[in-house]
Amino acid sequence: MPLAHRTPTVGVTRRMPFDTDADLVVGPVFEDDRPAELRILHEATGGTVERAWQRGEFTGKLFDVLVTPVGTTGQRALFVGAGLRKDLTADHVRRMAIVGTLAARSRRITRVALGGWDRAVEAIAARTPDRASAVADAVLQACVEGIVLANFEGGNYKTDNNLRPMVEAVELCPVDNTAAVRAAIDRALVLGEASNRARELANEPGNSLTPRVFADRARAMARQAGLGVEVLDEKQIAALNMGMLVGVARGSHEPPRLVVLRHEPANAVPGVTLALVGKGVTFDTGGISIKPAENMDKMKDDMSGGAAVIGAMTAIAKLEAPVRCLGIVPMTENMPGGQAVKPGDILTSAEGKTVEILNTDAEGRLILGDALWYARQLGATHLVDVATLTGACVVALGKTTSGLFGTPDRWVDEVRRASELAGDRSWPMPVHDDYKEQLRSEIADFTNTGGRAGGAITAALFLKEFTGDLPWVHIDIAGTAWAEEARPYQPKGPTGVAVRTLAQLALAAESWATVTFER
């Protein structure tokens, strides 16, 4: 079976891109470039850029593309529109690098040179001249992340052997080979690969990635990264009285698993344990409240939150984040078997709280509730959970932005800041207590769904019941975990969303660890 992803070698050189032996040179062109700034490109391409510019064939608008030969060497150039200088961000650079690398792959080119990215640094740094060095590192990291993210193949189960080849080697030029540059590149390679590993897991069909296989894959990834790992089987889960996880798993012949990953660095910030909890439903039929047949095949990605946590934990370990971290992933199928939980049933959580089941398709919050409780038992001081939880969040925010729910606001702000730096777009949503009325039950502590109105909010408030008084954020990635339509910077398929957000949050621990988060 072909590889699902490959991390290319990335080097730097002081040579100009057209002086390298790369088969394709990729570079940015701004929408507000002037003729003098394009002179070298005009000359190198025999006037092709100028003629395309004059015809309006290539305008420099964001993600616009022009491919042209360079001289008589057989080398080609691919120019990617960078938009207006005043609007450029590091995330745009990440996406432009994806566009360029995907274009190389579609042309079966494996050696690429990226040039002109110093112009991107200048454009962004001009707005924050006091942070020029940090901007340079961030832009370089984003660029390399984009290269790695583009080296992912979602069709790796195809047998026609006609898949686009992976890019094998990339040179960044002209770039000085300093310690800061090398550190930014190394960090980007780790984060990009971790994202691709999560995408690989999310892309696996439900018949090959069962809860037991998922746990085995997580164990192997964890050991490779130097993480501590423990896998709890169905007997151990039952012994912990995790009635909600056991209840969801009852309908399947596949037994559940609970994976616990540990990152315990010697230089950890004292008194802080960040717990990352991810939903690991390897296939979701909806249970007795069965989903419509159309698009049910997409429910193989209902473990994307768990995959994000596993990917993030491997990156956290490899990058030696200075904070103790727990990664907790409850894994199960949600099937309509003869022993499946039914609407009207009552489940008792490990917390001891009782839940009336109104809809068996609201299962993710059940397994996460027990996992959040367990994170607290293991000493968590700060909580973040990630899940493809609600269609309601897709209705509210669409398919390009994840929802952020949590308390206190300061902790939500920290997670949002991490998501912005990571290039994972997110938006805060309310968790006002008024909405809890929708979860009221006549015979149990609360129900597992509050109906259609504010469905993403009531789902988050359900999770809040299991967070104690800890700072907590829930990231709903139902709309962002899977791209159903291809974009220039994102092929159809799994996106790896939240991996880099969680890793960035851990890497920045020293900036928030001493903050008192009052609810």
Kindly list the catalytic residues: 291, 365
Residue 421 phi, psi dihedral angles, 5° rounding: -65, -35
Cα–Cα distance between 274 and 379 in angstroms, integer?
Answer: 9
Q: State the maximum Cα–Cα separation within the chain, in Å, rounded to a whole number.
A: 80
Are 359 and 451 in contact by the 8 Å Cβ rule? The answer is: no
Q: How many CB atoms lie within 10 A of CB 493?
A: 18
Cα–Cα distance between 192 and 404 in angstroms, integer?
Answer: 23
Are 255 and 282 in contact by the 8 Å Cβ rule? The answer is: no
- Name the 3-class secondary structure at 57: coil
Residue 307 phi, psi dihedral angles, 5° rounding: -60, -40
Helices (H) and strands (E) in the chain, counts: 16, 20
Q: Rounded to whole angstroms, what are the CA distances from 296 to 178, 290, 293, 371, 464? A: 50, 10, 5, 25, 28
Residue 165 Ramachandran class (φ > 0 left, ψ -120 to 50 alpha, else beta) = beta
Are 2 and 203 in contact by the 8 Å Cβ rule? The answer is: no
Q: How many residues does the chain have?
A: 519
* CA dihedral sign, ordered 283, 419, 320, 411: negative
Q: HEC string of 234-296?
A: HHHHHHCCCHHHHHHHCCCCCCCEEEEEEECCCCCCCCCEEEEEECEEEEECCCCCCCCCCCH
Tokens 């992340």 — which residue?
145
Residues 6+ apart with CB under 8 A from 47: none
Cα–Cα distance between 5 and 195 in angstroms, integer?
Answer: 10
Cα–Cα distance between 167 and 147 in angstroms, integer?
Answer: 9
Residues 6+ apart with CB under 8 A from 161: 2
User: What's the order of all strands across the beta sheet hosting 354-356?
Assistant: 346-348, 354-356, 446-447
